[in-house]
Amino acid sequence: MADHDYDRAAKIEHENKMIRRLHFLVELTFATIAQDNDITLEQGWEHVLALKGAAVAMFPGKEETFDLIYMPRFSRLLAERFRAN
């Protein structure tokens, strides 16, 4: 196996690991907001913004992607959870 093939495979594996980590964090944040009866709306948004910060740290320059993919899901969850607009 050539070095560049190994480097490419290592980069792909790293990217897949980061995607799995982000998926875990998204599901954890979603479950926390959905299931923690003591959480406030403000705390819910703090969790979402902390998740976004982690996502952007893992995938620099992807703020807009996060906003397109995850923000609608969390906005719906928070609206349903707190019956807010």
pLDDT along the chain (85 residues), means of 10: 82 95 98 96 97 97 96 96 75
pLDDT at 72: 97
CA–CA distances in Å: residue 36 to residues 26, 31, 83, 85:
15, 8, 16, 20
Contact 56, 65 (CB under 8 A): no
Residue 60 is given by DSSP the state T
| 16: its two tokens | 């897949």
The domain of 18 spans: 3-82
Query: Residue 60 CA to chain centroid, in angstroms?
Result: 13
* pLDDT of amino acid 85: 47
> Which pLDDT belongs to residue 36?
95
Specify the number of domains making up the chain: 1
For 57, the 3-state DSSP assignment is helix
